[in-house]
């Protein structure tokens, strides 16, 4: 792989952001600086940290940024639950986005494990 854009995790994270923006466009306008902003920032942080870590000079730095991505992903999953609980996301919308986030989670965990195993 020559750039972070070649990473499937990064590509799927970028797709997730599109889903997030489309869904949060329907949130109440008074949430623009609240939950809407939080969800969007968490989602944006996932591929951003993957890209930043990829550009670092050491495997340890890359692993650190991948772990930050997982933290942002967990934050996003929590915020999605909140949005569902207060009826900003319907069940179907929530399930689709949440399952996509779980796939990214599994991929990140696996990728981190593989990187740690390499010398």
Q: Name the token pair of 20.
A: 């997030």
pLDDT tens-digit profile of 66-117? Answer: 999 999 999 999 999 999 999 999 999 999 999 999 999 999 999 999 999 9
Cα Rg, the chain, nearest whole Å? 15
> Is the pLDDT assigned to residue 119 strictly greater than 70?
no
CA distance 72 to 42: 5
Average pLDDT on 44-51 reads 98
Question: Which helix H or strand E contains 85, and what residues bound it?
Answer: helix 59-85
Tell me, what's the pLDDT at 10?
A: 98
Percent of the chain residues topping a pLDDT of 70: 98
**What was the pLDDT predicted at 88?**
97
Query: Mean pLDDT over residues 25-41, rounded?
Result: 95
């Amino acid at each position: 792989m020559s750039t972070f854009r070649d990473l499937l995790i990064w590509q799927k994270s970028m797709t997730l952001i599109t889903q997030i923006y489309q869904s949060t466009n329907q949130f109440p306008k008074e949430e623009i600086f609240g939950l809407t902003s939080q969800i969007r920032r968490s989602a944006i942080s996932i591929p951003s940290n993957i890209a930043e870590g990829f550009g670092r000079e050491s495997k340890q730095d890359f692993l650190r940024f991948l772990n930050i991505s997982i933290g942002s992903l967990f934050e996003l999953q929590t915020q999605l639950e909140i949005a569902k609980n207060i009826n900003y996301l319907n069940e179907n919308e929530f399930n689709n986005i949440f399952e996509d986030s779980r796939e990214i989670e599994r991929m990140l965990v696996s990728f981190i494990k593989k990187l740690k195993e390499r010398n």
